[in-house]
Structure formats: structure tokens, C-alpha cells
């Protein structure tokens, strides 16, 4: 299969030296890409800025910065792909205006006006066809309910819910605690495990959904 994986945060610049972003280290998405390579799939990794090395054996590595860059890169990458696993933590908002020069301390605005970024999965799933789309849901309360709503809205085949407030789960750590939520409403709650192990389970789900 040709599998596209997204990972890491996006950065949304306020001026050339400052940005809005989030805590994603890229570990979860890189583990999925590594598991896909190890399972023998042609794997493309589209990544926001992170400080970990890309897995060996990728068919392509596409570095991106902003949510809009990530959408453009993924639009190209999913053409001809069989599956997309979207582990990236995409910034939902960006500054309404990015200043082209550094904003000096004395002229700092009291507030930064924001505007919404595109919802990448929702945009791509409009032309999804028979491809398998897997999302993640980073939740801080009622993880399964939130994930189920995202799965429906983004027309996904599977969503991996993680409560990012639980110790050992979510951002930056090497482990995760996840629940698979499916379109028929069924759920499968997994115990704490390494991101590498969870990644192998996600790749197995992708293979099963694609009928491989």
C-alpha cells in the first residue's frame, strides 16, 4: 500500500520571530510512519517542525510549517495513495494578519486577532473515494464522544482518541493510551503502551480496512 502519514505541530506566525503552535513532538506520527515502513508499505511522511529524526526507508519526507502548507502537501501526497493517517496536531487558528517585520515591545497589540485555518481532514475527505482515512482526536474530557463527533464530521474510517491530560498519554511522551472509535459506534479501549506498539496496531487497522 501507499500510506501517507502526517505528524508534528504546525506553526502560525505572528511576525518573523513569533508563532502560535502546540506541544506536539511528532513522536506519535513518526512511530506510525516507522510502523508502516516496517510493514513493507510505501510511506510518505508530511511533518510539521519537530526535532526528532525521520524514520529510515520512507518513500518521501515532506517538511511543512503552517496548516495551509500541510493541506497543500497532503493534497498532493494523497493523490495515488491508499490511506492517510493524520496524527499531526494542526493549529485550528492563525493570526488574522502576520506582520512582515518583528513587532517591537512598545507596539505589542493587547490582543491578537485570529482566523480559522482549513480543516485538512474535512477538506481531503470530500474527494476520499475508497481510500482509508484515519484521524486522531486529542481530547481533554469525554474523549470518546468528542472523537465520535470528529469521525462523523470528517468522514473517517477510524479515529484514535487520546485524552491528552492522562499521565503517559498524548503529547511529548513515548507512550499513549488510546481508544479506537469506528463509524458504527463501536469502540476498543487499549491499555497504556509505547507509541511504537500503538502505531503497529494502527497500521494493522489500516490494512484491515483496506482489505489487505
Which residues sit at the interface with ligand PMT, rule CB under 6 A? Answer: 24-28, 67, 86-90, 92, 117, 119-121, 135-138, 150, 162, 164, 170-172
Q: What DSSP assignment string belongs to 9-37?
A: B--EEEETTEEE-----SHHHHHHHHHHH
CA dihedral (18, 22, 23, 25) in degrees, to 10, reads -80
Residue for cell digits 497543500?
Answer: 72
Decide whether 10 or 43 has the Cβ nearer to ligand PMT: 10
The C-alpha cell 512582515 sits at: 100
Q: Which is nearer to ligand PMT, 95 or 170 (CB)?
A: 170
Respond yes or no: is residue 176 known to be catalytic. Answer: no
Sign of the C-alpha dihedral computed for residues 141, 153, 8 and 87 taken in this order: positive
- Is the separation of the CB atoms in 45 and 52 below 8 Å? no
Cell of 103: 513587532
Indicate the residue among 26 and 95 with the shorter CB distance to ligand PMT. 26
Q: Considering the complex, what minimum distance in angstroms separates the CB of residue 51 from ligand PMT?
A: 11
Compute the least distance from the CB of residue 159 to ligand PMT, in Å: 7
| Least CB distance to ligand PMT at residue 203 (A) | 15
Q: Which is nearer to ligand PMT, 37 or 164 (CB)?
A: 164
Beta carbon of residue 169, minimum distance to ligand PMT (angstroms, whole number) = 8
Q: Which residues are catalytic?
A: 22
Amino acid at each position: 500500500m501507499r500510506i501517507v502519514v502526517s505528524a508534528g505541530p504546525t506553526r502560525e506566525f505572528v511576525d518573523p520571530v513569533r508563532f502560535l503552535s502546540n506541544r506536539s513532538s511528532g513522536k506519535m506520527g513518526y512511530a506510525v510512519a516507522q510502523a508502516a515502513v516496517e510493514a513493507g508499505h510505501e510511506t510518505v511522511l508530511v511533518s510539521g517542525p519537530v526535532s526528532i529524526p525521520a524514520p529510515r526507508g520512507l518513500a518521501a519526507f515532506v517538511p511543512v510549517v503552517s496548516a495551509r502548507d500541510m493541506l497543500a502537501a497532503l493534497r498532493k501526497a494523497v493523490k495515488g495513495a491508499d490511506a492517510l493517517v493524520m496524527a499531526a496536531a494542526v493549529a485550528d487558528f492563525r493570526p488574522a494578519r502576520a506582520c512582515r517585520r518583528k513587532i517591537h515591545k512598545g507596539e505589542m497589540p493587547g490582543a491578537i486577532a485570529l482566523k480559522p485555518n482549513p480543516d485538512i481532514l474535512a477538506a481531503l475527505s470530500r474527494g476520499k473515494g475508497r481510500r482509508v482515512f484515519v484521524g486522531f482526536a486529542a481530547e481533554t474530557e469525554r474523549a470518546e464522544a468528542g472523537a465520535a463527533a470528529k469521525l462523523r464530521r470528517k468522514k473517517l474510517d477510524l479515529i484514535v482518541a487520546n485524552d491528552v491530560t492522562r499521565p503517559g498519554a498524548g503529547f511529548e511522551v513515548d507512550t499513549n493510551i488510546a481508544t479506537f472509535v469506528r463509524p458504527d459506534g463501536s469502540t476498543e479501549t487499549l491499555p497504556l503502551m509505547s507509541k511504537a506498539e500503538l502505531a503497529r496496531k494502527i497500521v494493522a487497522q489500516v490494512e484491515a480496512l483496506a482489505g489487505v
